């Protein structure tokens, strides 16, 4: 019973910490909501660093999913959003971004 409970508790804790940190980052950067922050292309160096950080967190969580398979699905979401923001920044997108209105 405890064997099944530990991955669940670890997964819920990871999701909660990740969401709390991303909400704080979105508020700090002036976005109206977390979803607006995740959709927007990074414009400043701080936002680009945050995108790389998000992608690396998603990668680490996904790699932990090799040990605990339910955690793999949790890591795919930050990995997707982080890599997408990095790709937008590398393509030069987001120079004129209206997501902050």
Question: Residues 47-88: pLDDT tens digits?
Answer: 888 889 889 888 888 887 777 776 677 778 888 888 888 888
- Predicted confidence at residue 24, as pLDDT, reads 94
Residue 57 lies in a domain: no
Residue 55 lies in a domain: no
User: In total, how many domains does the chain have?
Assistant: 1
What range defines the domain where residue 83 resides?
A: 62-93
What's the mean pLDDT in 42-46? 86
Minimal CA–CA distance to 95: which of 40, 52, 34?
40
Residue 10 lies in a domain: no
Residue 83 lies in a domain: yes
**What integer best gives the mean pLDDT of the chain?**
81
* 9 has a pLDDT exceeding 90: no
What's the mean pLDDT in 84-98? 72
- Predicted confidence at residue 101, as pLDDT, reads 46
Q: Take residue 43 and report the two structure tokens written for it.
A: 């414009």
Residue 78 lies in a domain: yes
* 32 has a pLDDT exceeding 90: yes
Residue 80 lies in a domain: yes
Q: Take residue 100 and report the two structure tokens written for it.
A: 């902050």
Cβ(54)–Cβ(22) below 8 Å: yes
Tell me which of 19 and 2 has the higher pLDDT.
Answer: 19
- Predicted confidence at residue 84, as pLDDT, reads 87
Residue 53 lies in a domain: no
């Amino acid at each position: 019973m405890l064997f099944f409970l530990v991955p669940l508790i670890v997964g819920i804790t990871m999701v909660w910490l990740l969401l709390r940190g991303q909400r704080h980052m979105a508020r700090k950067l002036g976005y109206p909501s977390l979803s607006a922050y995740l959709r927007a292309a990074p414009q400043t160096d701080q936002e680009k660093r945050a995108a790389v950080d998000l992608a690396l967190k998603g990668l680490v969580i996904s790699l932990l999913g090799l040990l605990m398979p339910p955690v793999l699905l949790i890591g795919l979401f930050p990995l997707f959003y982080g890599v997408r923001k990095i790709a937008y920044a590398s393509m030069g997108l987001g120079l004129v971004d209206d997501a902050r209105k």
